[in-house]
Amino acid sequence: MPRVSLAIVPALLAASALLAGCSTVTEDKTIGWSTERLYAEARDEISSGAYDKAVPLLEKLEGRAAGTPLAQQAQLDKAHAQYKGGDKAQALATLDRFLKLHPASPAVDYALYLKGLVNFNDDLGLFSWVANQDLSERDQKAAKDSFEAFRELSTRFPESKYAQDARQRMTYIVNALAQYEVHVARYYLQRGAYVAAINRAQVALSDYQSVPAQEEALFILVQSYDALGMTQLRDDARRVLDATYPQSNYLTQGIQQRASSWWKPW
Protein backbone atom coordinates (compact mmCIF):
# COMPACT_ATOMS: atom_id res chain seq x y z
CA MET A 1 0.00 0.00 0.00
CA PRO A 2 1.52 3.33 -1.03
CA ARG A 3 2.51 5.69 1.79
CA VAL A 4 1.73 9.40 1.79
CA SER A 5 4.75 11.57 2.42
CA LEU A 6 4.40 13.53 5.66
CA ALA A 7 5.62 16.60 3.81
CA ILE A 8 2.47 16.85 1.72
CA VAL A 9 -0.03 16.19 4.53
CA PRO A 10 -0.55 19.89 5.33
CA ALA A 11 -1.24 20.61 1.67
CA LEU A 12 -3.77 17.79 1.49
CA LEU A 13 -5.53 19.02 4.63
CA ALA A 14 -5.71 22.54 3.25
CA ALA A 15 -7.15 21.29 -0.02
CA SER A 16 -9.75 19.22 1.85
CA ALA A 17 -10.79 22.22 3.92
CA LEU A 18 -11.10 24.33 0.79
CA LEU A 19 -13.28 21.73 -0.90
CA ALA A 20 -15.45 21.38 2.20
CA GLY A 21 -15.87 25.15 2.36
CA CYS A 22 -16.85 25.32 -1.29
CA SER A 23 -19.48 22.67 -0.78
CA THR A 24 -21.24 24.77 1.86
CA VAL A 25 -21.41 28.00 -0.14
CA THR A 26 -25.02 28.78 -1.02
CA GLU A 27 -25.51 29.76 -4.63
CA ASP A 28 -26.97 33.23 -5.11
CA LYS A 29 -30.10 32.58 -7.14
CA THR A 30 -30.61 36.30 -7.73
CA ILE A 31 -27.54 36.65 -9.94
CA GLY A 32 -28.76 38.00 -13.24
CA TRP A 33 -32.08 39.21 -11.85
CA SER A 34 -33.17 42.68 -12.84
CA THR A 35 -33.85 45.21 -10.09
CA GLU A 36 -37.53 45.05 -11.04
CA ARG A 37 -37.61 41.30 -10.46
CA LEU A 38 -35.75 41.65 -7.16
CA TYR A 39 -38.29 44.18 -5.96
CA ALA A 40 -41.25 42.09 -7.13
CA GLU A 41 -39.91 39.00 -5.35
CA ALA A 42 -39.29 40.98 -2.15
CA ARG A 43 -42.81 42.40 -2.24
CA ASP A 44 -44.24 38.91 -2.72
CA GLU A 45 -42.33 37.69 0.36
CA ILE A 46 -43.65 40.64 2.38
CA SER A 47 -47.21 39.98 1.21
CA SER A 48 -46.95 36.36 2.33
CA GLY A 49 -45.50 37.35 5.72
CA ALA A 50 -42.04 35.92 4.97
CA TYR A 51 -40.25 39.00 6.26
CA ASP A 52 -37.00 37.15 6.95
CA LYS A 53 -36.81 36.24 3.26
CA ALA A 54 -37.76 39.72 2.08
CA VAL A 55 -34.99 41.52 4.00
CA PRO A 56 -31.98 39.97 2.18
CA LEU A 57 -33.67 40.54 -1.18
CA LEU A 58 -34.20 44.19 -0.33
CA GLU A 59 -30.59 44.50 0.81
CA LYS A 60 -29.43 43.18 -2.56
CA LEU A 61 -31.79 45.58 -4.31
CA GLU A 62 -30.51 48.51 -2.28
CA GLY A 63 -26.96 47.75 -3.44
CA ARG A 64 -27.77 47.10 -7.10
CA ALA A 65 -30.04 50.14 -7.44
CA ALA A 66 -27.77 52.48 -5.46
CA GLY A 67 -28.37 56.16 -6.15
CA THR A 68 -31.89 55.66 -7.49
CA PRO A 69 -35.34 56.18 -5.98
CA LEU A 70 -35.76 52.41 -6.05
CA ALA A 71 -32.86 52.06 -3.60
CA GLN A 72 -34.61 54.46 -1.23
CA GLN A 73 -37.81 52.46 -1.55
CA ALA A 74 -35.86 49.28 -0.82
CA GLN A 75 -34.56 50.83 2.40
CA LEU A 76 -38.03 51.80 3.57
CA ASP A 77 -39.48 48.41 2.67
CA LYS A 78 -36.61 46.74 4.49
CA ALA A 79 -37.36 48.77 7.62
CA HIS A 80 -41.02 47.80 7.34
CA ALA A 81 -40.13 44.11 6.91
CA GLN A 82 -37.76 44.23 9.90
CA TYR A 83 -40.43 45.89 12.01
CA LYS A 84 -43.12 43.39 11.03
CA GLY A 85 -40.69 40.53 11.55
CA GLY A 86 -40.05 41.63 15.13
CA ASP A 87 -36.51 42.97 14.57
CA LYS A 88 -37.33 46.42 15.86
CA ALA A 89 -33.77 47.46 16.69
CA GLN A 90 -32.69 46.83 13.11
CA ALA A 91 -35.80 48.59 11.78
CA LEU A 92 -34.90 51.71 13.78
CA ALA A 93 -31.29 51.53 12.58
CA THR A 94 -32.46 51.28 8.96
CA LEU A 95 -34.79 54.24 9.37
CA ASP A 96 -32.13 56.38 11.06
CA ARG A 97 -29.78 55.59 8.19
CA PHE A 98 -32.45 56.51 5.65
CA LEU A 99 -33.17 59.84 7.37
CA LYS A 100 -29.45 60.64 7.50
CA LEU A 101 -28.76 59.74 3.87
CA HIS A 102 -31.94 61.18 2.34
CA PRO A 103 -33.03 64.24 4.35
CA ALA A 104 -34.75 65.75 1.30
CA SER A 105 -36.56 62.60 0.22
CA PRO A 106 -40.31 62.95 -0.39
CA ALA A 107 -40.69 59.85 1.80
CA VAL A 108 -39.23 61.43 4.96
CA ASP A 109 -42.73 61.81 6.41
CA TYR A 110 -43.35 58.08 6.01
CA ALA A 111 -39.95 57.25 7.53
CA LEU A 112 -40.79 59.35 10.61
CA TYR A 113 -44.23 57.76 10.82
CA LEU A 114 -42.77 54.26 10.65
CA LYS A 115 -40.17 55.17 13.27
CA GLY A 116 -42.98 56.30 15.53
CA LEU A 117 -44.88 53.08 14.94
CA VAL A 118 -41.88 50.89 15.77
CA ASN A 119 -41.47 52.57 19.16
CA PHE A 120 -45.22 52.87 19.70
CA ASN A 121 -45.59 49.10 19.74
CA ASP A 122 -42.33 48.57 21.59
CA ASP A 123 -43.96 49.66 24.84
CA LEU A 124 -41.42 48.16 27.29
CA GLY A 125 -44.09 47.65 29.91
CA LEU A 126 -45.99 50.86 29.24
CA PHE A 127 -49.40 49.21 29.63
CA SER A 128 -48.53 46.68 32.32
CA TRP A 129 -50.93 48.48 34.65
CA VAL A 130 -53.82 47.16 32.53
CA ALA A 131 -53.04 43.69 33.87
CA ASN A 132 -52.85 45.10 37.45
CA GLN A 133 -49.18 44.22 37.78
CA ASP A 134 -47.38 45.66 40.78
CA LEU A 135 -44.41 47.72 39.68
CA SER A 136 -42.47 50.78 40.71
CA GLU A 137 -40.21 51.58 37.76
CA ARG A 138 -40.42 50.92 34.02
CA ASP A 139 -38.44 52.26 31.08
CA GLN A 140 -40.62 54.70 29.15
CA LYS A 141 -37.95 55.64 26.58
CA ALA A 142 -39.65 53.84 23.69
CA ALA A 143 -42.95 55.63 24.24
CA LYS A 144 -41.23 59.00 24.48
CA ASP A 145 -39.16 58.30 21.35
CA SER A 146 -42.37 57.38 19.57
CA PHE A 147 -43.95 60.67 20.63
CA GLU A 148 -40.93 62.62 19.34
CA ALA A 149 -41.06 60.93 15.93
CA PHE A 150 -44.78 61.64 15.60
CA ARG A 151 -44.27 65.20 16.82
CA GLU A 152 -41.56 65.85 14.21
CA LEU A 153 -43.78 64.40 11.51
CA SER A 154 -46.81 66.49 12.43
CA THR A 155 -44.70 69.64 12.82
CA ARG A 156 -42.64 69.35 9.63
CA PHE A 157 -45.31 67.78 7.46
CA PRO A 158 -48.70 68.95 8.81
CA GLU A 159 -50.40 68.10 5.51
CA SER A 160 -48.95 64.60 5.27
CA LYS A 161 -51.45 61.77 4.96
CA TYR A 162 -49.82 60.29 8.07
CA ALA A 163 -50.07 63.46 10.19
CA GLN A 164 -53.60 62.98 11.52
CA ASP A 165 -52.93 59.46 12.72
CA ALA A 166 -49.64 60.64 14.23
CA ARG A 167 -51.45 63.35 16.20
CA GLN A 168 -53.97 60.83 17.52
CA ARG A 169 -51.18 58.54 18.63
CA MET A 170 -49.43 61.45 20.34
CA THR A 171 -52.57 62.07 22.38
CA TYR A 172 -52.74 58.38 23.23
CA ILE A 173 -49.09 58.33 24.34
CA VAL A 174 -49.50 61.39 26.56
CA ASN A 175 -52.58 59.88 28.20
CA ALA A 176 -50.79 56.57 28.69
CA LEU A 177 -47.66 58.14 30.19
CA ALA A 178 -49.75 60.22 32.58
CA GLN A 179 -51.79 57.16 33.56
CA TYR A 180 -48.56 55.26 34.11
CA GLU A 181 -47.32 57.91 36.56
CA VAL A 182 -50.64 57.75 38.40
CA HIS A 183 -50.47 53.97 38.50
CA VAL A 184 -47.05 54.14 40.15
CA ALA A 185 -48.30 56.83 42.55
CA ARG A 186 -51.25 54.58 43.47
CA TYR A 187 -48.83 51.68 43.96
CA TYR A 188 -46.84 53.73 46.48
CA LEU A 189 -49.94 55.09 48.21
CA GLN A 190 -51.37 51.64 48.81
CA ARG A 191 -48.07 50.55 50.37
CA GLY A 192 -47.77 53.55 52.65
CA ALA A 193 -44.90 55.19 50.75
CA TYR A 194 -46.60 58.57 50.85
CA VAL A 195 -43.68 60.79 49.87
CA ALA A 196 -43.00 58.65 46.79
CA ALA A 197 -46.71 58.72 45.95
CA ILE A 198 -46.72 62.52 46.16
CA ASN A 199 -43.68 62.78 43.91
CA ARG A 200 -45.19 60.61 41.17
CA ALA A 201 -48.59 62.29 41.35
CA GLN A 202 -46.91 65.67 40.99
CA VAL A 203 -45.09 64.42 37.86
CA ALA A 204 -48.45 63.50 36.33
CA LEU A 205 -49.82 66.95 37.16
CA SER A 206 -46.82 68.99 36.02
CA ASP A 207 -45.71 67.07 32.92
CA TYR A 208 -49.06 66.13 31.36
CA GLN A 209 -51.68 68.83 31.02
CA SER A 210 -55.42 68.30 30.52
CA VAL A 211 -55.36 64.50 30.68
CA PRO A 212 -57.94 62.28 32.43
CA ALA A 213 -55.34 60.87 34.84
CA GLN A 214 -54.97 64.24 36.58
CA GLU A 215 -58.17 63.67 38.54
CA GLU A 216 -56.80 60.62 40.32
CA ALA A 217 -53.40 62.30 40.70
CA LEU A 218 -55.04 65.10 42.71
CA PHE A 219 -56.91 62.60 44.86
CA ILE A 220 -53.67 60.74 45.58
CA LEU A 221 -52.15 64.03 46.73
CA VAL A 222 -55.11 64.58 49.07
CA GLN A 223 -54.77 61.09 50.54
CA SER A 224 -50.99 61.20 50.86
CA TYR A 225 -50.85 64.64 52.47
CA ASP A 226 -53.58 63.59 54.88
CA ALA A 227 -51.68 60.46 55.86
CA LEU A 228 -48.58 62.56 56.54
CA GLY A 229 -50.54 65.08 58.61
CA MET A 230 -49.80 67.88 56.13
CA THR A 231 -53.23 69.44 56.43
CA GLN A 232 -52.52 72.71 54.60
CA LEU A 233 -51.22 70.93 51.50
CA ARG A 234 -54.06 68.41 51.77
CA ASP A 235 -56.66 71.18 51.79
CA ASP A 236 -54.96 72.96 48.87
CA ALA A 237 -55.04 69.79 46.79
CA ARG A 238 -58.66 69.19 47.81
CA ARG A 239 -59.67 72.68 46.64
CA VAL A 240 -58.02 72.14 43.25
CA LEU A 241 -59.74 68.76 42.92
CA ASP A 242 -63.14 70.24 43.81
CA ALA A 243 -62.71 73.17 41.42
CA THR A 244 -61.37 71.14 38.49
CA TYR A 245 -63.54 68.05 38.90
CA PRO A 246 -66.68 69.11 40.78
CA GLN A 247 -68.40 65.83 39.91
CA SER A 248 -65.45 63.65 40.93
CA ASN A 249 -66.37 60.28 42.42
CA TYR A 250 -62.97 59.80 44.02
CA LEU A 251 -63.86 61.69 47.18
CA THR A 252 -66.87 59.44 47.78
CA GLN A 253 -65.71 56.15 46.27
CA GLY A 254 -61.94 56.31 46.70
CA ILE A 255 -59.44 54.74 44.33
CA GLN A 256 -60.80 51.92 42.24
CA GLN A 257 -59.08 49.78 39.69
CA ARG A 258 -61.33 50.92 36.89
CA ALA A 259 -60.71 51.25 33.18
CA SER A 260 -60.13 54.82 32.08
CA SER A 261 -62.59 56.02 29.48
CA TRP A 262 -59.86 57.17 27.12
CA TRP A 263 -58.13 53.80 26.90
CA LYS A 264 -58.68 51.41 24.04
CA PRO A 265 -56.45 48.89 22.25
CA TRP A 266 -54.92 50.43 19.13
pLDDT digit string (tens) for 169-178? 999 999 988 9
Annotate 3-70 with three-state secondary structure: CCCHHHHHHHHHHHHHHHHHHHCCCCCCCCCCHHHHHHHHHHHHHCCCHHHHHHHHHHHHHHCCCCHH
**This prediction's pTM:** 0.75
Distance CA 175, CA 217 (A): 13
Mean of pLDDT values over 180-184? 92
Say which residues have a Cβ less than 8 Å from residue 4's Cβ, sequence separation at least 6: 12
**Stated length of the chain:** 266
Provide the residue ranges of all domains of the chain, joining segments of one domain with +: 34-87
For residue 192, the model assigns a pLDDT of 96
